[in-house]
Amino acid sequence: MSAATEATDCTLGEAMIAALARTIRDGTLVFHGFGSPLVQLAMHVAKRTHAPDMVLVAGATYGVNPRPPFLTPTSNDWVLDRGAECALDIEELFDLAASGRMGRMFLSGVQIDRYGRTNVTRLGQGEAAKKLPGGGGGCNLSCDVEAVTLWTAAHRTRADRAGRRQFRIVESCDFVTNVGHRTADGRTRQAMGYRGGGPDRLITDLGLFDFEADGELRLIGLYPDTTVDDVLDNTAFRPRLAETIAPIPMPDAEVVGIIRALDPMHVHEHELRAEDRDRRFALGPTALPRAAVATA
């Protein structure tokens, strides 16, 4: 893999992919939805480094452990099924989550709020509401899956021509497509008897967050080029800050090499704003456990 030896730094997209990959635990069944190239790549990185025994279920095709030759810009394509050991049908995929076998799922939103609820259905209310594409099976999975990683590459918000800012990270979603640590009307997961534990990480283009025991979002990590003020300025409410805010670990050359080989068309950059595609960082020391990498 020549790309691996050539990598001397990494992009924001690659750093986000590595951070997403680190949320995956080996030996668990992990699923990504459609339209999630950063997550698709993160799952393949995890499978080829620290999580060789994860059950990788591809979004849209429901192929199990595929080895795609390259990433395509749409999710339901035979390219992405290449080498799959087997495939699930739609009812089996969701049954796995409902019965407690799905270890992790990834969800995003045009709004993500302080309790990890996400909205991909409708912005605003009434006549002025904007229709969003919808959430697929995310709603069901947000209740059922053992753990959820949230992500967005659009945390930074700029004012529109009228000077308004449509924040991505908000106090409360206009429509709760996917539940977080609270329901749409504020009830807890425990009160609802959901099977899953809800989101445990949020990875954005500005920082890394976890959720405290009471379900609230908390900043725990930053990129080399972002600050706490960047996060506060681009968040619609004041998020909690961890006592120690650590640098987000950067991927090593092997991880970057896997990403570049799998994504020759840079499909994952479609998720990033144009100005963020130029952000580059020094490679990290081997970010994933060396022993695990050696067995991949």
Partner 1 sequence: MSTVHTTADKLVDLPTLVGRIRPGDTLAVGGGLSSREPMAAIRELIRQGIDGLRVVGSAHGIDIDLLCGAGAVSATAESYVGFEHDFGAAPNYRRACESGAVRVEDSCCYTIVQQLRAAIEGLPFMPVRSARGSSFMELHPEYRTMTCPFTGQELLLVPALAPDVALLHAQYGDAHGNLRIEGPPVADLLFAKASRQVLATVERVVSTEELATLGGVTIPYFYVSAVAEVRFGAHPTACYPFYAYDRPHTKQYHEAASAGADAFAERYLAPFVHGVADHATYLERVGGAAVLDRLAGWSTDDEVWLALYADAEPAA
Residues that bind partner 1 in the complex, under the rule CB under 8 A: 34-35, 37, 60-63, 69-70, 72-79, 81, 87, 89-91, 94, 97-98, 121-122, 129-144, 173, 175-179, 183-185, 187, 192-195, 264-265, 267, 270-271, 274
Work out how close the CB of 15 gets to partner 1 at its nearest, in angstroms, rounded to a whole number. Answer: 18
Q: What is the largest CA-CA distance in the chain?
A: 57
Work out how close the CB of 195 gets to partner 1 at its nearest, in angstroms, rounded to a whole number. Answer: 7
What is the C-alpha separation between 102 and 104, in angstroms, rounded? 6
Work out how close the CB of 173 gets to partner 1 at its nearest, in angstroms, rounded to a whole number. Answer: 8
Give the 3-state secondary structure of 240-290: EEEEEEEECCCCCHHHHHHHHHHCCCCHHHHHCCHHHHHCEEECCCCCCCH
Which residue matches tokens 């429509």?
175
In terms of CB distance, is 13 or 221 closer to partner 1? Answer: 13
In terms of CB distance, is 37 or 221 closer to partner 1? Answer: 37
In terms of CB distance, is 27 or 100 closer to partner 1? Answer: 100
Work out how close the CB of 181 gets to partner 1 at its nearest, in angstroms, rounded to a whole number. Answer: 11
In terms of CB distance, is 27 or 83 closer to partner 1? Answer: 83
Long-range contacts, 160-167 (Cβ 8 Å, 24+): 166/123, 167/111, 167/234, 167/235, 167/236
Q: In one letter, which amino acid is 281?
A: F
What is the C-alpha separation between 254 and 223, in angstroms, rounded? 20
In terms of CB distance, is 11 or 49 closer to partner 1? Answer: 11
Work out how close the CB of 144 gets to partner 1 at its nearest, in angstroms, rounded to a whole number. Answer: 5
Residue 59 buriedness (CB in 10 A; 0-12 / 13-18 / 19+)? buried
In terms of CB distance, is 122 or 279 closer to partner 1? Answer: 122
In terms of CB distance, is 71 or 208 closer to partner 1? Answer: 71
Per the CB < 8 A criterion, the answer to whether 20 and 148 are in contact is no
What is the C-alpha separation between 178 and 143, in angstroms, rounded? 8
Cβ neighbours of 242 (radius 10 Å): 14
